Structure 1
């Protein structure tokens, strides 16, 4: 081990890059998450007492605690944004229907993967006109997705049909996994929200062979990007006492931003977003636990956007819920950047939270609102 790698491990603990790469690079846009839930299962089934699913496809890995122990739900959505094939023209070009929120500026000339009904994958590229001779009104305008197309490198609609591609097939951003110049920084597609799902998976993996009071449900929810759908059905199935949603948030530490939310701080505690207001008792409990453990943290408040917490906290008669965020640069594009420390510290905090949760602590949190 090099001196650089030794210092990194000493500072932030060991990071399972194989797990992170497997999570990030697996294709799974909203409504097409089955390959990703299989990956989630592969990395958790050895450490869980039970694997189950809701009827939308969210995967639930349970580590059992005491028979009537508190039920904790850790939710990280496994879907990523992408597209569906909307139409196929006579020359074999594919038109796109967006699944999730895209800014057209980030798309031209980027590769995508089209997955057929039989599971075959084909690579194409989102077409981009050369700038030579384009009038300023065209060159300076952000293209609408409805005007974009995928070039598969075929000559006709008939060739596309021979490949087995049809309307409704999933189109996924194609990218690679990179450890950057400073190895704390990791770049790949789909950190939103494979990194949150990886946190949920690592918590249950960290609790292997431990005897705890809490029943810990690590959940990979589906269809978050199109309406927080899997979070609602999974929470209805589990009926948790406490839920922590782990999702990405927009890092504001690049040129032109206000530096409020930064990579590499540690834990990011979300006070509120547009979909929910965090349970203050749980927020303060986790803040105090961070202080006790020597974990750095920052707070965020979002006026727009939401997480799975928006549906989970309303299930049945209400769930004690909070979101924890992993700051990420350039989300909803082909490549985002995260920091190892944020991942490692979040796993440490939630693992210790799980170890300590018992009936007495749950009662304290419940009484906070009474």
Structure 2
């Protein structure tokens, strides 16, 4: 028997991370167009750190910390919606047919639990139905089913029983999951990291600055309907008219078997150079890169070939906004469970809070005059 290497130990939990807040954010249901409950969670954690909290007419929540008269306006955006489904049809035998809200790979859905929420707020648990593999032909077993062929089993006998529950066409269906701290305590697993982790970060930046004054006027925004077209970011940015905007969203971690190991969990901060919706402002990216170097925060760069973030709409508002996306690498996004790393969360909060402390009219002039 080979003697184990006694010098190897599990890492200790990194940074000051409020797990209760993260669990509150991730476990609250709120698919695109149904974000009210998540907005209430956002408000409950940010209200003591903000001078005022408002909403735009689409439902995005805007927490504002006053700066001095001449300071720039900084907008932090983290979308609060998650992907899910709507009830598309109710079959005579009580099964629910579903319509996707956001991007799903149906392969991850079979036999997974979901929550259906009625108009009056009642919650019912169901499961996405699946067939037993016994005797299944290979052609059937190896095929990924279309979402239109999937159904939710509520454990009822008829359409009439479903209607007695108050469930109707258009009711939201949300993935059901639990919050887990994994064997190494830096790895956290839950649903809806995309993008409740970004929403929590923009809240935590204001919490970090609660007892401090800044030249900058800071707007931490929980945007709605990102997963269906970056919609809340557009209306919120039009309302705020920021000078500088930083979007915090998840990205695909590629540190799992069979991937290229380019984007890893636990590095620190990930600067998104571009995605399909925007090209990051190089002056802002270099400014934050230099600040990270000064603070001893590690970072990596990402070029995302497909997909977009709220930056795609924010940077086009009015006469253009100095905009950058910062990504939180996440394993298994757009499924019932994703995994993130505490270091990426804590270091990003630390970096953005320090940026707010230092950002003044001179910094804005420097960034505005930066030649691409």
Do both share a fold (TM > 0.5)? Answer: yes
1:101 match: 103
> What is the CA–CA distance in structure 1 between the aligned matches of 2:258 and 2:356, rounded to whole Å?
39
Match of 1:26 among 25, 28, 31: 28
Structure 1 residue 16 and structure 2 residue 18: aligned?
yes
1:270 match: 272
Displacement, 1:369? 3.4
Residue pairs, 1:185-200, within 5 angstroms: 185-200=187-202
> What is the CA–CA distance in structure 1 between the aligned matches of 2:123 and 2:350, rounded to whole Å?
37
> What is the CA–CA distance in structure 2 between the aligned matches of 1:109 and 1:6, rounded to whole Å?
33
> What is the CA–CA distance in structure 1 between the aligned matches of 2:25 and 2:219, rounded to whole Å?
18
SS of structure 1 residue aligned to 2:12:
helix
> What is the CA–CA distance in structure 2 between the aligned matches of 1:204 and 1:67, rounded to whole Å?
19
2:44 match: 42
Task: Tell me if structure 1 keeps the 8 A contact 2:331–2:338.
Answer: yes
Match of 2:285 among 283, 286, 300: 283
> What is the CA–CA distance in structure 1 between the aligned matches of 2:9 and 2:123, rounded to whole Å?
36
Q: 1:263-293: per-residue Cα shift (whole Å, max 9, x none)?
A: 0000000100000000000000000000000
Displacement, 1:5? 12
SS of structure 2 residue aligned to 1:143:
coil
Displacement, 1:31? 0.2
SS of structure 1 residue aligned to 2:329:
strand
Q: 1:264 to 1:7 in 2, by over 3 A?
A: closer
> What is the CA–CA distance in structure 1 between the aligned matches of 2:281 and 2:320, rounded to whole Å?
11
Structure 1 residue 115 and structure 2 residue 117: aligned?
yes
Q: 1:283 to 1:95 in 2, by over 3 A?
A: same
Q: 1:365 to 1:178 in 2, by over 3 A?
A: same
Task: Tell me if structure 1 keeps the 8 A contact 2:11–2:184.
Answer: no
Structure 1 residue 201 and structure 2 residue 203: aligned?
yes
Structure 1 residue 347 and structure 2 residue 325: aligned?
no
Structure 1 residue 250 and structure 2 residue 252: aligned?
yes
TM-score normalised by the chain length of structure 2: 0.97
Task: Tell me if structure 1 keeps the 8 A contact 2:80–2:224.
Answer: yes
Q: 1:153 to 1:234 in 2, by over 3 A?
A: same
Q: 1:160 to 1:5 in 2, by over 3 A?
A: farther
Match of 2:183 among 181, 184, 200: 181
SS of structure 2 residue aligned to 1:276:
coil
1:320 match: 322
1:132 match: 134
SS of structure 1 residue aligned to 2:349:
helix
Structure 1 residues not aligned, in runs of 5+: none
Structure 1 residue 357 and structure 2 residue 359: aligned?
yes
Residue pairs, 1:17-96, within 5 angstroms: 17-96=19-98
1:210 match: 212
Structure 2 residues not aligned, in runs of 5+: 1-7
Q: 1:80-102: per-residue Cα shift (whole Å, max 9, x none)?
A: 00000000000000000000000
1:226 match: 228
> What is the CA–CA distance in structure 2 between the aligned matches of 1:173 and 1:101, rounded to whole Å?
13
> What is the CA–CA distance in structure 2 between the aligned matches of 1:369 and 1:66, rounded to whole Å?
27
2:261 match: 259
